[in-house]
């Protein structure tokens, strides 16, 4: 293994990626706003509290069951803003295209971007286009950055996870990860599995109205639920316990995972959120999420505990316990 170069693992969202972030990137840029490590930065400008976030999408293939790179790029940044408790308002759109990209593909992607933006209620207000020669990029990469406004009284962040909080997931795990994987491996599975890519901001609005005391929101994308819960446990210095039986999983996704030996806890989701909320508001929060079209299979999957700070523990179906570590390396590059 070459130790002095960037590896695919550095992009995994897992342990090695975290080492790059905390060991090289953050120290170079060190400032208190960046160091919070939430899905977006929270900025005070004038009389407003704004959330500001950025995400680049390099997914391969660019079209897949349930969506495409354009829809993913809008929903990804909308969700990062929503996870700060913000109402997403404005997006930027920056394209890097490879010479030779069919214009029809670009048109389809632009139409998806428009549809997704309309659905989320955001506007693309500024943009940039770069073209690089053949083989200097693969088809198209999309960056979106976004601005949202955080309503008064809302204070959400990984560091707020508190012992006693219930952990809610808004639906089934691993749908996006398995969808892309099946496309990439060109396997001839006959399945109905499709990406869960969706904007979650309307769900968050509903959720915060019903349960204004929410402590943490996070969308478990790269690295999956397992890695995201670890991040939260480390940010807040608390333990998190989840129950295997409670984890929602589409039966087809479960089947593919079992067949191929993948752990759905580490696969990417693109339309799911994790919510940590005081126990007293947990039922109200769950009900609000379930009322959203994207939240019908939501479930309470665990709680924050004062045991094993910084660690996530899974209670297995047969009564055992196993530590859920962060994903170490890369399961599949270019998942989003």
CA 66 – CA 106 distance, rounded (Å): 18
| Nearest-approach distance from CB 125 to a copy of itself, in angstroms | 4
183 binds a copy of itself (CB under 8 A): no
Do 268 and 222 form a contact (C-beta atoms < 8 A)? yes
Give 149 or 290: the residue with its C-beta nearer to a copy of itself.
149
List 33, 163, 209, 259, residue binding a copy of itself (CB under 8 A): 33
Task: Assess 75 for contact with a copy of itself (CB under 8 A).
Answer: no
Closer to a copy of itself by CB, 172 or 228: give it.
228
The yes or no reply on residue 19 touching a copy of itself (CB under 8 A) is: no
User: Is 61 or 164 the residue whose CB approaches a copy of itself more closely?
Assistant: 61
Q: Which of 62, 69, 83, 113 binds a copy of itself (CB under 8 A)?
A: 113
Cβ neighbour number for residue 184 with a 10 Å cutoff: 16
H or E stretch including 217? Answer: strand 216-218
| Backbone dihedral angles phi then psi of residue 36, each to the nearest 5 degrees | -65, -25
Determine if 63 is a binding residue for a copy of itself (CB under 8 A). no
Instruction: Provide the minimum distance between the beta carbon of 123 and a copy of itself in the complex, in angstroms, as a whole number.
Output: 5
The CB-of-55 to a copy of itself minimum distance in angstroms stands at 5
Instruction: Verify binding: residue 11, a copy of itself, rule CB under 8 A.
Output: yes
Selection from 136, 62, 57, 19 nearest residue 6 by Cα? 19
Phi, psi of 238 (to 5 degrees): -125, 165
Q: Answer yes or no whether residue 101 interacts with a copy of itself by CB under 8 A.
A: yes
Of the two residues 308 and 334, which places its CB atom closer to a copy of itself in the complex? 334
**Rounded CA separation 164/282 (Å):** 11
- Binding residues among 288-317 for a copy of itself as defined by CB under 8 A: none
For residues 273 and 292, give the distance between their C-alpha atoms in angstroms, rounded to a whole number.
Answer: 12
ω into 61 cis (within 30 of 0): yes
- Contacts (CB under 8 A) with a copy of itself, residues 35-54: 40-41, 43, 45-48, 50, 52-54
Cα–Cα distance between 198 and 204 in angstroms, integer? 12
**List 75, 79, 143, 331, residue binding a copy of itself (CB under 8 A):** 143
Torsion of CA 26, 27, 29, 34, to 10 degrees: 40
Span from 124-132, 189-197, 226-234, 315-323 in contact with a copy of itself (CB under 8 A): 124-132
CB atoms within 10 A of CB 47: 5
Of 1, 102, 261, 293, the one binding a copy of itself (CB under 8 A) is 102
């Amino acid at each position: 293994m070459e130790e002095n170069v960037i590896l695919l693992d550095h992009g995994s969202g897992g342990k090695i990626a975290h080492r790059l972030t905390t060991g090289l990137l953050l120290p170079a840029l060190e400032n208190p706003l960046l160091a919070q490590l939430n899905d977006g930065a929270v900025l005070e400008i004038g009389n407003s509290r704004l959330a500001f976030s950025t995400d680049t999408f390099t997914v391969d293939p660019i079209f897949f069951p349930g969506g495409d790179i354009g829809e993913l790029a809008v929903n990804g940044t909308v969700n990062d803003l929503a996870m700060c408790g913000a109402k997403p308002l404005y997006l930027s759109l920056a394209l890097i295209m490879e010479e030779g990209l069919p214009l029809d593909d670009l048109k389809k992607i632009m139409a998806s971007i428009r549809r997704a933006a309309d659905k989320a209620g955001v506007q693309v207000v500024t943009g940039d286009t770069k073209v690089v020669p053949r083989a200097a990029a693969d088809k198209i990469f999309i960056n979106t950055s976004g601005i949202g406004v955080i309503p008064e009284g809302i204070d959400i962040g990984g560091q707020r996870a508190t012992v006693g909080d219930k952990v809610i997931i808004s639906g089934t795990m691993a749908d996006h990860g398995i969808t892309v994987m099946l496309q990439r491996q060109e396997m001839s599975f006959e399945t109905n599995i499709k990406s869960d890519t969706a904007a979650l901001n309307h769900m968050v609005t509903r959720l915060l109205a019903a349960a204004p005391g929410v402590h943490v929101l996070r969308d478990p994308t790269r690295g999956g639920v397992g890695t995201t819960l670890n991040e939260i446990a480390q940010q807040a210095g608390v333990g998190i316990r989840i129950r295997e039986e409670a984890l929602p999983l589409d039966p087809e996704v479960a089947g593919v995972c079992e067949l191929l030996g993948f752990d759905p806890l580490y696969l990417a989701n693109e339309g799911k959120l994790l919510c940590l909320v005081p126990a007293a508001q947990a039922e109200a929060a769950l009900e609000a999420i379930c009322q959203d079209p994207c939240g019908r299979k939501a479930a309470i999957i665990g709680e924050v505990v004062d045991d094993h700070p910084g660690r996530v523990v899974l209670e297995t179906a047969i009564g055992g316990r196993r530590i859920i570590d962060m994903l170490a390396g890369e399961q599949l590059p270019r998942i989003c």
